[in-house]
Amino acid sequence: MSKRLRFFFALWPDPPLTERIADAAAGVALTGDARIVPRENYHATLAFVGEVAPSEMGVLQRIGAARRARACIIDFNRLEYWRESRVVVAAASDIPPALVELWSGLLRDLLVAGLIEPPRTPLRPHVTLARKVVQAPVLKAMSPVSWNAQSFSLVRSETSGARSVYTVVDTWPLLYGTAHQ
């Protein structure tokens, strides 16, 4: 039996954006076993696929390559504590229509391919800054971080070690659009 691999589609930040996100994370005071997400793992998940057979990676790449959506700007403008997930995130108050278009198209294609179950929650654009947060931290106001999303990626997730390792497998450009579409 071949080993199954974990995948997700995501927006992946460039180095300057990663630094701005790290600045937002630096202002989060954590207690106990809570831990800051390493900056090399920052991303905004579009569609979590989960475990698939290695032979299905080609299907995921075809889904990504076929997806046409406009570029957009997402303003991550507030810190939130999500009790159920035990995470602190940088969240976006507004969701650009182009991001909804990309998200819903990916979900539709993944559902048709039989690779995911229908999602239980709507799109909530966010970047996870800290995990294993059992007590709600006092969160300060966040200086907005504008993410000019020009591409999206298929990412492999390996969680067998002490921390998650994400590897970008493939990246596709988004179509040029107006700034806040």
CATH of 5-173, one of 3.40.50.360, 3.90.25.10, 3.90.1140.10, 3.40.50.300: 3.90.1140.10
CB 91 within 8 A of CB 78: yes
The per-residue pLDDT string of the chain (181 residues; one tens digit each, 9 = 90 and over) reads: 458 899 999 999 999 999 999 998 988 888 888 999 999 999 999 999 999 998 899 999 999 999 999 999 999 999 999 999 999 999 999 999 999 999 999 999 999 999 999 988 899 999 999 999 999 998 989 999 999 999 999 999 998 766 789 999 999 999 986 544 4
CA distance 35 to 131: 5
- Check: CB of residue 132 under 8 Å from CB of residue 35: yes
Euclidean distance between CA atoms 94 and 81, whole angstroms: 18
pLDDT at 181: 44
Task: Output the CA–CA distances (angstroms, integers) from residue 48 to 56, 69, 143, in the order listed.
Answer: 15, 18, 28
The predicted-structure confidence for 74-95, as pLDDT tens digits, reads as follows 999 999 999 999 999 999 999 9
What's residue 180's pLDDT?
Answer: 46
Instruction: Measure the CA–CA gap between 36 and 166, rounded to whole angstroms.
Output: 16
Give, as one character, the DSSP assignment of residue 41: G
Q: Dihedral through CA 82, CA 85, CA 86, CA 89, nearest 10?
A: -50
Q: Where are the domains of the chain?
A: 5-173
Q: Can you give the pTM of this predicted structure? A: 0.92
